[in-house]
Structure 1
Amino acid sequence: MVQNLKERGYTVKENGPIYYTRDMDGTAKWFEDVLGWYGAIDQRNEEGQGTYGCLLPMPVEIFSMTLQPFNGIHMFIGEPTGQTVAFMRVDNVEKLHAFVKKSGWTQIGEIREQHWGGKECDVTTIDGGVIRFFELEEYHGR
């Protein structure tokens, strides 16, 4: 049964999942090398180990100049979950798939057509978490 969105009272417009890792520098480098993202370690403890950072699909300078909602990943020190950690909407999942393959990372699933009209593929991260990337088909004015 589909709920009436007005009745529900909210619409999700931002994506800011939380990602736990024991090696924040290594994880940020993985996101940069494999996905082409930008990592920033914003806080470190006394030993120099990262305790908080952000992973963004664009340089932080460009992100901070735009008025768009946060669409990156908040990264915290902690035990990796080893499960699906994020659902990320992308445009052109085929190019994302090719980019990851070209990086040499092999822990990526094939692109799957979904009954709801989209396409998706899973990427297993360096910490064993899974990010599911999905693309929605255009509605062409419908």
Structure 2
Amino acid sequence: MKKEDLPQDPGALDKFTREVCYVKNQDGKYETALSRGWEVKKQALDSAWDDVTERIADARKAVANGEKSPIYYYMELRLMDLSVLSGYTGFFPFFIKRHLKPSVFKGLSDRKLEKYASAFDVTLQELKNFKG
């Protein structure tokens, strides 16, 4: 792509950062240039965030309906999966899956819940008294 053809459409991160791209200058040599964004890329990112927002809303409903524990909601909110949460807490993914059940969650010690609260950057009380 030629330097003058580099898109400069305002993107989702326009106010925070620029994207480095390789472009050809007037001499036909590659160099780096900054782009504010591309409209197509912005639409793709917006679509992805819509999916994330929907998953968080579904998780909130599942917790409110007693189908899942608050751990499930915070995993979705913080964009974590079992392996990431396992790395933060030290719990094996198998145990985390069990802790997603409300009946098991209620029996967890404060010590274990504190590890989850720390991983999610919430207080122990926020985790225990989730209001959905």
TM over 0.5: no
Q: Could you tell me the TM-score, scaled by structure 2's length?
A: 0.22
Q: Which has the higher contact order (CA 8 A, sep 6+)?
A: 1
Bigger helix share: 2
Q: Could you tell me the TM-score, scaled by structure 1's length?
A: 0.21
Larger-gyration structure (1/2): 2
